[in-house]
Every structure is written in structure tokens, then in C-alpha cells.
Amino acid sequence: MASSTVANHDLREPHGSPWPHYSLIALQFCLLAGPPFRYRRAVAIIGTIALMTQCWLHPNFSSDFDVAQPFSLTWSIYLTTLEKLVLIPSTATTEMSFWRSDMPAREATAYASFGVRKIRWALVLMFNMRGVRWNYEVKNVPKMPDALIQSRARFLLHRTIAAVYYLLMADLAGQTALQVFYTNEVTLLRGDVDSKLLTIRDERSVVWSFVRALTFAVQPYYIIQVQYSVSSIIAVITGMSRPADWPGSFGRLSETTTLRVFWGKYWHQTLRRLFHAWTSAFRDACGMKPGTWQSRYTQLWLSFVISGIGHAASMLILPSPSNITIEERTVGLLCFFVWQAAAITFEDGVKHIWRHWLGGPTGENGYAVRLLGYTWVVGTLWYSIGWAGGVYLRMRLGEQPLFPVTLSGALLQEWVPQLRNYAVSRRT
């Protein structure tokens, strides 16, 4: 959900260098692809902390979005790689702890350091964050139909069709965002609104407020789906992986009757192991017993806090208008993720009271219950997404078209202003 530049606005003066970022990735890759040695854990911890500190002392090193954007996503790679180097039994090595499900256990112990097989094994540990078809595969990875797993041609056809569909929808969402968020309602021109005034929320109309929230929310979904579909096609065509290595990236939207299910089963599970590993380590360090409500909710809140901090900190790497403060680039994202933890805690409490105190039925398949669940999830996300969306808009991410060619831009230039005027005039 981003543009290639931040146009028509004075950019914050870049400072620093991308080399600490490159060095951090290189360090962690070399520690995985190289031989195990006595002080590897210490080198991983000290080296990662030192380089991450250097990265964040001067995060905004470029005014070119395309250069800076990949580095804004690497915080999760740093943490997940460090976890696999450090959060393992003291008597084991990383090579002894992770292997593919269709290969012998501890396969990497037989690989030559920096050999082709060891390099491939190391790259998977860094980038296969869901652990698909490995012994660390996370829960709730969507199941892939056997027909797609067993037929390479059918898989490629299915993913090609999906990629085209998601590409069209991403273009539609991106072009809608240009008209909804960045086009001045009076002049119908983009780029003439102070970044500080941009917001997802619109108090003039409930309908228009929902349209704005939905427009923002669907953009990351379709962009992730495009990237995932294209990556799976390339990987399978080149023989780098099999169709079975690429199950769906999202779950079933129809099942999201609670916010816990939305984040735990529907939304991509890329960061699940990262959060579970680090929050479990924190739980154990605090002496909490696994499975207790104290440990479960400590891990829940800590997971969303880490996610909020990671997403917020990533904004500091990206170019932004010079008049936008650090707080305006970060606090909204932290609030959004902390709100999810609070909302899940609340809904768990309501369900507990309903079932155990009031003796209500435990079934969740009734139409009324599902409708109430959908309403709760949509309403909660609708309210909270304003915090996250405000950050992205003030940063003017998505102000430029996603793709050089658009099929929907001309239509939306005429249609969106009409919808806005109708919704606002109704004031529903």
C-alpha cells in the first residue's frame, strides 16, 4: 500500500546509510549458512542489537520510496532469524532444530557450510516465516486442495488466474484511494492538501466514513495477494519449490465472527511464530505457567505490542513530508494494534460471562450469532483502522498510482465524486 514517491510535498531531508541494513541481513544469513561455533548465539545477539541500533539511529536514509520500502519490512526477518539462532535448547544447534517435513530430521547437520544446500536451508529459515512443510509450521495455515498440490500445471493455471484477478482488484483499490483520500473535493486536484489534515475518518456521513475505511483496508490485502501469487508462480516454474509449498496466504473470511478468529485464522499467519517464540520466552523468564489465563493474555498483549512497535518503527524508514512529526508517523499504528488486544480481551470476557455465568448456548453457528459476530468484527476494525490509516495518509503513501497502466482510473474519476456527494448529502 504505497507509492513510488511522495509527490508535490517537501520531503524530510534523508540522512544515514542503508549499509547497516545490508550488514544485518548479511550477518544473520552468514550465521545460518555457515558452520555452528561455540559463541554463535552471543555473536547473533550482540551483532544484531548493535546493527539494529545503528539502523534506527538514522532510519530515514533515502527520499526514494522504492529504495527505502524493502527495509521497512525487514524488522520481522531480523526477529524471526534471531529467534531461530537464540531461542533453542542450550544443548542444540539451529541445524539440529529445523528441517523439512519430507527430509530426515536434522538434515542440515550433513550440509557443507556455505554449500548450495546449506544456503537454501538458511534462506528458507529466514523467509519461510510460516514454516510451510517444515517442522516449525505454524497453526492455521490454509489447506490447499489436493488437485493443486498434485498437478503443477493446474497449480500454475490457478495462480495465474488469481494473480490477474488480484492485480485488477489492487488497481481498483489503489485508484479508489487516489480519489477518496488524495483528491481535493473542491478543486478535484491531488497534492494541494496539507498532509497534517489527511485522515481516514469523515464525520459528515456514516456511509462515506465506511467507504473510506473499506478503501484503506482492502489495499494491503490485494497487494499481498498479488505479491504472493506472482512469487508462487515464479518459484514453481523455476523449480525452486513445489506447489505444496504455497498454500493460500489468507483464511476464510466467512469464519471471522470474532476478532480473535480474524487475526488468528483469517489474516496471514506470517508473524505468528515470531510472536509466539518471543512471547513464550518472556513468559518463561517471568516464571508463568503455560496455559494459564495470565500467560495467555500476557502473550496476547505482548504480541500486539511488538507488532505495533515493529509496524510503527518501519514508518521511520520511509520518506515523509517534512512537517509530519515522529508521533504522527508512529503513534496511530501502535494504538491500532494495542486496540486489537484490548478488543480480543473484551470479547473473550463477554463470551465467558455468556457461557459460564448466564448459561447461554455455546454453539456459534446460528444466523443471529454469526450476524452479531460479523457486526462486531466489522465495527471494531472500522473504528480502529482510522488510527493506522491516518499514519499512512499523513505519510502520503499511495498518493501515486500503484501501476503504470490502469483500467479503472478514468471510471473512478467520474464515479467516486458522485458517490461522495450523494453520501454526504444524505448524511446517514
| DSSP per-residue letters across 201-244 | --TT-HHHHHHHHHHHHHHHHHHHHHHHHHHHHHHHHTTSS-GG
| Domain boundaries, position 38 | 19-57+73-127
Joined grid coordinates for residue 73: 519490512
With respect to residue 9, please indicate whether it lies within any of the assigned structural domains: no
| Whether the Cβ atoms of residue 144 and residue 136 lie closer than 8 Å to each other | no
Phi, psi (5° rounding) for residue 234?
Answer: -60, -45
| Whether the Cβ atoms of residue 222 and residue 170 lie closer than 8 Å to each other | yes
119 with 180, same domain: the answer is no
Residue 218 CA to residue 208 CA, distance in Å, equals 16
43 with 162, same domain: the answer is no
With respect to residue 13, please indicate whether it lies within any of the assigned structural domains: no
Phi, psi (5° rounding) for residue 205?
Answer: -155, 130
230 with 357, same domain: the answer is yes
With respect to residue 11, please indicate whether it lies within any of the assigned structural domains: no
216 with 328, same domain: the answer is yes
Cα torsion through 32, 68, 52, 329, rounded to 10: -140
Residue 307 CA to residue 335 CA, distance in Å, equals 11
List the chain pLDDT tens, one digit each, 428 residues: 444 344 446 788 888 888 999 999 999 999 999 999 999 999 999 999 999 999 988 898 988 888 999 999 899 999 999 999 999 999 999 999 999 999 999 999 999 999 999 999 999 999 999 999 999 999 999 999 999 999 999 999 999 999 999 999 999 999 999 888 888 765 555 666 788 888 898 878 888 999 999 999 999 999 999 999 999 999 999 998 999 999 999 999 999 999 999 999 999 999 999 999 999 999 999 999 999 999 999 999 999 999 999 999 999 999 999 899 999 999 999 999 999 999 999 999 998 898 777 766 666 567 888 999 999 999 999 999 999 999 999 999 888 888 888 888 888 888 888 778 777 776 65
295 with 249, same domain: the answer is yes
Long-range contacts of 258-262 (CB under 8 A, 24+ apart): 258/344, 258/347, 258/351, 258/373, 258/376, 258/377, 259/340, 259/343, 259/344, 259/347, 259/376, 259/377, 259/380, 259/381, 260/344, 260/347, 260/348, 262/377, 262/381
123 with 152, same domain: the answer is no
Amino acid occupying residue 64: D
With respect to residue 252, please indicate whether it lies within any of the assigned structural domains: yes
First to last CA, the chain: 29
CA contacts within 13 A on the Cβ side of 338: 10
163 with 109, same domain: the answer is no
* C-alpha distances out from residue 342 to 297, 300, 345, Å: 10, 9, 5
294 with 191, same domain: the answer is yes
Q: What distance lies between CA 369 and its chain's CA centroid?
A: 29
